[in-house]
A and B are shown apart, each in its own frame.
Chain A
């Protein structure tokens, strides 16, 4: 991608404005950074899973910052000129002041920011913590958990003084945010994690500059069902008498999960994942995000309303009650993006 004038640091240009001559073009590869926030490391693993394709990647780009795999530190990023990174691929949700600081820094240094994976896009698994509180999490993790021995009731604090030495930890926020709650994001890469194929395609598009409009999701916007290998087994009209969870039944590996009564998020979820779960005889849990730009839970509830077999108030209530954890099911990877979820707290993130 050609470096744009506007991406130069203010005051960095020593040349007079009226230049017509082309900027001195040393054959420089675009620089990219990878960073992780509240995530599990699976997205880093997905990059490693490019296997030999990663050689094609490093032929075309310089990875200059990747804490998981390379040495460069924060100070090295701070020393880079603003806009000198072609792209920053950021995975993970934002839950601490450190994460916020780092993504703001990367936003300043990068021309493009890609929310890499479900957590950065919509909160992911970490954002399920938004259904409870920080205090409750600390209580459970540090005081009540059966495997914890903590008679003094020590819980992490942001500041501690020992023998005159002051130690600080980043602030843990009350709320788990998606990346674009904190900084402007140019593109979104779906998946938990994004597949190596999707990553390779996205990187290719970035390197060649053939990108869709800003704000796009770099993946197909069709429901998983459209190319599901089990789609053929689904009758045009069917109803579900009882909603079951996958562990309660022996799932038929050759039949649509929904027609078996097993809750599958396929109708409300984007395809592009390669049907790895379906092929492993597990229903879709929704990691590729909601089709269109609707609320994920609204999409799935709307779909379910059309196929449940219940007409009487009692039956409908029984069926609705049989869903063990609606929020955790419909927002498994997207709690930070719920229309009715935690609102952005300006006291936490500026």
Chain B
């Protein structure tokens, strides 16, 4: 059987994380092709519903990557993302989705290596968890 290839969606902010991905490309730093980048203007623009939709439509893991705290192009959009997604993670656990399938992290515009490291480690951890099955609850017995 072929090795499981996870589908990973990463929402990246225009000003830092996307720039980092761009830089990684320019420097020929490879990162897993499992990662599908979705460029948004700010991590604060990422509605929790986008992440839900991604899981629902087949993502095995979802990342939201923004500017480091204090570096947000819009001053505090990343702080909104931080508050939203820390709450969101507690909800994921109740719905039977391992919170480790979601990661909020910061990658600065110049940090091509960090983007490579973060996406690689996340993809590998999702690969180890296997495909996502939506069960809707923690203790559902499957007949």
A residues near B (Cβ < 8 Å) are 130-133, 135-136, 174-175, 294-295, 297-299, 301-302, 304-306, 308, 310-311, 313, 316-317, 319-321, 323, 325-327, 330, 338-343
A305–B80 touching, CB < 8 Å: yes
Instruction: Tally chain B residues at the interface, Cβ within 8 Å.
Output: 34
A323–B87 touching, CB < 8 Å: yes
A340–B79 touching, CB < 8 Å: no
CB contacts (< 8 Å) of B84 on chain A: these are 301-302, 304-305
Bound CA span A320–B89, Å: 9
Q: Does B143 contact A (CB under 8 A)?
A: yes
Would you list which residues of chain B between 25 and 60 have a CB under 8 Å from chain A? 44, 47-49, 52-53, 55-56
Would you list which residues of chain B between 49 and 100 have a CB under 8 Å from chain A? 49, 52-53, 55-56, 69, 79-84, 86-92, 94-95, 97
Which are the 8 A-B pairs with shortest beta-carbon distances? A305-B84, A342-B136, A298-B49, A327-B94, A320-B86, A339-B52, A298-B48, A341-B136
Bound CA span A342–B79, Å: 31
B residues near A (Cβ < 8 Å) are 44, 47-49, 52-53, 55-56, 69, 79-84, 86-92, 94-95, 97, 134-141, 143
- Given A306-B80, A316-B83, A338-B136, verify A301-B97 contact (CB < 8 Å): no
Minimum C-beta distance from A187 to chain B (A): 24
Bound CA span A308–B81, Å: 11
Closest to B51 in A: A298
Bound CA span A325–B84, Å: 16
B134–A130 touching, CB < 8 Å: no
Closest to A302 in B: B47
CB contacts (< 8 Å) of A135 on chain B: these are 141
Known A-B contacts: A308-B83, A316-B82. Give 7 more (CB < 8 A): A298-B48, A299-B49, A306-B80, A320-B87, A323-B87, A340-B55, A341-B136
